[in-house]
């Protein structure tokens, strides 16, 4: 009896040690979450709420062939646990996807001020990225980075301007920061002989306590176009419409062939756009923009075709250190433009390549195909299909090559 009692005590002790170990592991894992607003998912749709390329009217196209192929990604983040990553390894698997496109654009949600330490510090979201991250973005196939977001001024106005300099130093183009915001002048890039215009708008940049502990708010003349997309009504909405028209008029004056608006907006963790976003997106199209690409939500949203123009409200997080699979799930939006019978450019197809950032060494970004390997990749692919429906490609390596079908 004594031996049985001793054996039972040993079993209890071992069980307790194992449970403590599991709890400690769980605590460590959960508490390496990047400091941010709590991840509380909202409005996860019961079924896909998205338009597809089938909603497009292509009857005015001269040739239903891709003259220009563009790719857009979601938020590019650098959290504390990513500071020492090999960023070349982070994007190695993504490079073949971007290489299939004539121009690739990413939304970089951190400044890069080489005069200050890379960050953020522990328990902070006051970001400062690494120059090595920029080099990896360039080497993986990115051409243009949207720099306008709520973290643009994390290192101050000077840090934002140094970010633009650093981006250009690494052979990339930057939009959304700098003197062009004052003149309402888009960023122009020529692709396959056609001039594309990019204009960027963002919600209010974050403010942080200064040395005295008081919140240091940014000046209104900071080199970023800040718009309150949370209250898109009345007189404020009219001013926003006027701003959009000014950008479009300047782009047309400079003979741009296609005009793209880039937005950092909306509610975090929300799988559906709010009504203010929808109104603002429609206002941009009505003002003359040909496409609207959004970010900031940190999760995927459906796509909308409005007046034969494409609106992408949120493409998720391309790379981050968040815990939840749905927040590390994203999509590369592949868009093809073609020539209309009158010689102008128009949209003729779009599709989505789902991706997953693995929360392991170097945070590798993996493009997903059907069938996917591993339980988490399967979850990420299912999430993308649930949000984007038929837009998700089963096998991007085969499906991104489209036949040339000529209209008679």
Instruction: Calculate mean pLDDT across residues 106-133.
Output: 92
d(CA 137, CA 90): 10
- List alpha helices for 221-289, DSSP H: 234-253, 275-287
pLDDT confidence of residue 402: 61
Res. 6 pLDDT band, cuts 50 70 90:
low
Tell me the C-alpha distance between 223 and 178, whole Å: 5
pLDDT tier, 23 (very low <50, low <70, confident <90, very high otherwise): very low
- Confidence at 215, pLDDT banded by 50, 70, 90: confident
Cβ proximity of 295 and 107 under 8 Å: yes
Return d(Cα 175, Cα 171) in angstroms, integer: 13
Helix/strand/coil for 140: helix
Task: Give the pLDDT of residue 24.
Answer: 36
Q: What is the pTM of this model?
A: 0.89
Retrieve residue 32's tokens.
């390496």
Each residue of 245-266: pLDDT tens digit? Answer: 999 999 999 999 999 999 999 9
Cis amide prior to 120 (ω within 30 degrees): yes
Which pLDDT value is given to residue 28? 30
Q: Mean pLDDT for the chain?
A: 89
Stretch 326-335: mean pLDDT, rounded? 97
Cα distances from 94 to residues 119, 140, 178, 335, 354, in angstroms, run 24, 7, 29, 17, 11
Mean pLDDT value across residues 327-338? 96
Domains of the chain by start residue, with CATH: 48-406 (3.60.21)
Q: Are the CB atoms for 92 and 140 separated by under 8 Å?
A: yes
More confident residue, 20 or 385: 385
Residue 64 in this model has a pLDDT that exceeds 90:
no
Under DSSP, is residue 300 helix (H, G, I), strand (E, B) or coil? Answer: strand
Q: Please give the share of the chain, as a percent, with pLDDT higher than 90.
A: 75
Residue 404 predicted with pLDDT over 70:
no
**Considering only 4-18, 71-85, 126-140, 184-198, which range has the smallest mean pLDDT?**
4-18
Label the pairing between strands 144-146 and 63-64: unpaired
pLDDT at 175 over 60: yes
Cα dihedral sign, 169-175-179-183: positive
**What is the C-alpha separation between 246 and 364, in angstroms, rounded?**
41
Band (pLDDT 50/70/90 cuts) for residue 30 is very low
387-399 mean pLDDT: 94
Assess whether pLDDT exceeds 80 at residue 14: no
Position 183 pLDDT exceeds 70: yes
Integer Cα distance of 112 and 159 in angstroms: 7
Cα 286-239-74 angle, rounded to 5 deg: 60
Instruction: Inform me whether the pLDDT recorded for 162 exceeds 70.
Output: yes
pLDDT of residue 78: 96
Q: Are 32 and 25 in contact (CB under 8 A)?
A: no
Specify the range with the lowest mean pLDDT, choosing from 129-138, 209-218, 313-322. Answer: 209-218
What is the H or E stretch that residue 13 is in? helix 2-30
């Amino acid at each position: 009896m004594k031996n049985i009692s001793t054996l039972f005590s040993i079993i209890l002790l071992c069980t307790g040690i194992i449970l403590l170990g599991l709890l400690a592991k769980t605590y460590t894992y959960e508490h390496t979450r990047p400091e941010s607003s709590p991840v509380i998912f909202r409005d996860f749709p019961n079924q896909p709420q998205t338009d597809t390329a089938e909603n497009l009217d292509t009857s005015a196209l001269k040739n239903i062939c891709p003259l220009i192929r563009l790719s857009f990604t979601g938020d590019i983040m650098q959290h504390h646990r990513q500071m020492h990553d090999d960023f070349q390894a982070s994007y190695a698997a993504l490079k073949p996807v971007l290489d299939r496109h004539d121009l690739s654009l990413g939304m970089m949600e951190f400044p890069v001020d080489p005069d200050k330490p890379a960050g953020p510090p522990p328990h902070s979201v006051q970001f400062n990225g690494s120059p090595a991250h920029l080099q990896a973005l360039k080497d993986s196939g990115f051409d243009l980075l949207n720099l306008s977001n709520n973290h643009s001024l994390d290192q101050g106005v000077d840090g934002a301007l140094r970010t633009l300099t650093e981006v250009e130093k690494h052979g990339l183009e930057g939009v959304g920061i700098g003197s062009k915001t004052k003149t309402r002048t888009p960023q122009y890039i020529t692709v396959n002989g056609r001039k594309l215009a990019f204009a960027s708008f963002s919600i209010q940049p974050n403010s942080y306590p200064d040395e005295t502990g008081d919140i240091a708010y940014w000046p209104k003349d900071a080199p970023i176009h800040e718009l309150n997309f949370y209250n898109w009504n009345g007189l404020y909405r009219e001013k926003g419409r006027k701003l959009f028209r000014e950008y479009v008029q300047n782009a047309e004056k400079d003979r741009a062939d296609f005009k793209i608006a880039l937005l950092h907006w909306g509610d975090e963790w929300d799988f559906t756009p709010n009504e203010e976003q929808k109104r603002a997106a429609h206002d941009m199209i009505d003002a003359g923009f040909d496409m609207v690409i959004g970010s900031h939500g940190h999760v995927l949203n459906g796509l909308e075709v409005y007046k034969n123009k494409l609106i992408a409200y949120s493409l998720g997080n391309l790379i981050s250190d968040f815990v939840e699979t749905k927040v590390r799930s994203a999509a590369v939006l592949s868009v093809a433009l073609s020539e209309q019978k009158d010689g102008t450019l128009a949209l003729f197809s779009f599709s989505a390549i789902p991706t997953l950032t693995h929360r392991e060494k170097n945070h590798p970004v993996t493009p997903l195909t059907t069938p996917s390997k591993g339980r988490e990749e399967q979850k990420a692919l299912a999430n993308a299909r649930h949000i984007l429906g038929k837009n998700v490609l089963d096998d991007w390596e085969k499906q991104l090559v489209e036949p040339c079908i000529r209209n008679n």
